[in-house]
Amino acid sequence: MTGPAPETGRRRRPQPIELRPLCADDFPVLHRWLNDPHVRAWWPREAPTLAGVAEKYGPRIAGTDPVRVFVFGVGGEPAGMTQCFRWADRPQRRFPVELPAAASIDFLVGEARFRGQGVGARAFSAFVDRVFDLYPDVEVLVGYPHRDNHAFHRVLERAGYRRLDQEVDQLGIRLPANWDVDTNVVHVLRRDRRAALART
């Protein structure tokens, strides 16, 4: 006599996202990620050398550069990199809209096997909460991906971001002139909106 047939079709619970600060031992992996053609399509900077990665990210690890960098992964395997910065800490940089207390997140899924599985979206959403914790004075996060980077647009929307034109009243600002003619599309996430979404 046999027991009941095992259930089929049950979806496995996704592994939790792991998030840790970048360290120097990650430089070879980060170098590979930044030279991956999929990543370079949306990070159109000069292809970095390993020495260039160390020169750029070493100060960020040491805390002498205000950008905070993290590696995310699942099951003990690194999947990608994410970093954040307060706009007030980078006064030399031009931003797409004037906001008094804002921060931004850069994000990439470096390992191809983790793409298209929702890992990136879950990691980004988890990092949003980390950024609000890191910067208690920041009231809004701003993302401005290329208009053709549809995957990242979906990641932002899943985390609660909305297009800038949908949030101007809540932010108490006026839309910048020609804000929607650039190659990038501005999305914003208010702290209070994120908190409200967490309660639903």
Domain hosting residue 128, numbered range: 17-199
Average pLDDT over residues 101-105: 96
Closest CA to 13 of 75, 71, 70: 75
Q: Is residue 22 part of a domain?
A: yes
Task: List the CATH number of the domain containing 29.
Answer: 3.40.630.30
| Structure confidence by residue, pLDDT tens digits, 140-173 | 999 999 889 999 999 999 999 999 989 999 998 8
Residue 3 pLDDT > 80: no
Any domain includes 10: no
As for how many domains the chain has, the answer is 1
**Lowest mean pLDDT, pick from 108-122, 143-157, 180-194:** 180-194
Q: Answer yes or no: is 7 within a domain.
A: no
Question: Is residue 106 classed exposed, middle or buried when 0-12, 13-18 and 19+ CB atoms within 10 A define those classes?
Answer: middle
Q: Residue 47 falls within a domain, yes or no?
A: yes
Q: Is residue 73 part of a domain?
A: yes
Q: How far apart are CA 75 and CA 101, in angstroms?
A: 35
Residue 182, pLDDT score:
72
**109, two tokens:** 């899924």
pLDDT grade for 195, boundaries at 50, 70 and 90: very high
**Using one digit for the tens of pLDDT, what is the confidence trace for 50-71?**
999 999 999 999 999 999 999 9
Q: Check whether 4 has a pLDDT greater than 60.
A: no
| Coil, strand or helix at 175 | coil
Q: Which residues contact 26 (CB under 8 A, 6 or more apart)?
A: 71, 78
Tell whether 12 is covered by a domain: no
Segment 5-20 shows an average pLDDT of 72
In a domain, 5, yes or no: no
In this structure, is residue 162 part of a structural domain?
yes
Predicted local distance difference test score (pLDDT) of residue 7: 47
